[in-house]
Amino acid sequence: MNNPNTEDRLNQATSTRLAELANRPVDTSRLAKQLEQVMRDETEHEPAVLKMPQRFWRPTSAAAVILIAVMIGWMVIQGSSTPAIAAPAGLAQIYHDVTNELSPHAKVSSIQEANRVLAAQASGAMLVPDLPGQMQSCCLHQHEGITLTCAMIQRGDQLITIAIADGSKLQSPKGKMIERDGRQFCTHTVNGINMVMSHENDRWLCVMGDADMEELITVAQAIIF
């Protein structure tokens, strides 16, 4: 088939016919019944609320309840506005999962392709900036309740993973600080994995791998937000 218009028409007809299969009814009644049973079996049943003695509701007790509620509310507000602290051990696990392809990811060959994939996966995903290496894959990971954009690049024979997050939501843990060209980098090593973290222009960055620390700092220096 050499005529592109004819080929388009063939593909469209095939695609349309296949799409009709999505409207084919399926009988989910038995599956629904089985799942209902599993849900009943697996759901924790919280203990019945203990009946509170009437004296609890004396005015003094009620005031105490209000005070506790206000304190809890204040703690929740404080907690939600405080950035999480990145955990090196968790990041090392992410590095392991990314390099060993143990987590869902997309194989990509360019930054543009990676950002298209990430945008399709989650509308608010942090995009990947220019990276000093050949793009291999990208993915999203949850870490300390924060979504990380992760990209794996190859430099020479080394695989390096870059994690990026919203800088207002994630901070680096205390570590050995290294300054290069006026920029501050926080370094960690966990299970043989070196990590270089920075916090610039409202972005949190972590460059990690089993490359030596200097190599990772060079990579981190090349990443500009």
Partner 1 sequence: MHNGAISDAQAQRFKQLAWPLMPMVLRTAQYLTRHNQQGEDLAQATMIKAMRAIDTYQDDTNLKAWLLTILRRTHIDQLRAQRNKPAQVSVSSEVLELAADNPQDSTGQFDEQWTEPEALMSRFEDDAVIQAMGELPEDIRWTLLLVDVEQLEHAEVAIILNVALGTIKSRTHRGRSMLRDRLHQLAVQRGWVSTRESLA
**CA–CA dist 111, 118 (Å, integer):** 10
Q: Point out which span in 55-63, 70-78, 106-114, 215-223 binds partner 1 (CB under 8 A).
A: 106-114
Q: How far is CA 12 from the centre of its chain?
A: 36
Pick the closer one to partner 1 by CB: 140 or 195. Answer: 140
Residue 38 contacts partner 1 per CB under 8 A: yes
CA distance 88 to 73: 30
Q: Residue 127, interface with partner 1 (CB under 8 A)? A: no
Among 86, 94, 98, 108, binds partner 1 (CB under 8 A): 108
Residue 117 backbone phi and psi in degrees, to 5: -65, -45
Distance in Å, CB of 77 to partner 1, minimum: 21
SS3 53: coil
Closer CB to partner 1, residue 15 or residue 60? 15
CA atoms of 205 and 225, how far apart (whole Å) = 10
Cβ distance to partner 1 smaller for residue 123 or 201: 123
Of the candidates 4, 53, 79, 124, which one interacts with partner 1 according to CB under 8 A?
A: 124
Which H or E run contains 150?
strand 146-155
Residues 6 or more apart from 130 whose CB is under 8 A from it? 111, 222, 223, 224
Q: Which of 26-34, 61-69, 70-78, 188-196 is the region at the interface with partner 1 (rule: CB under 8 A)? A: 26-34
115 in Cβ contact with 127 (< 8 Å): yes
Write out the residues near partner 1 by the rule CB under 8 A. Answer: 1, 6-7, 9-11, 13-22, 24-26, 28, 30-32, 34-35, 38-39, 41-46, 101, 104-109, 113, 116-117, 120-124, 139-140, 142, 147
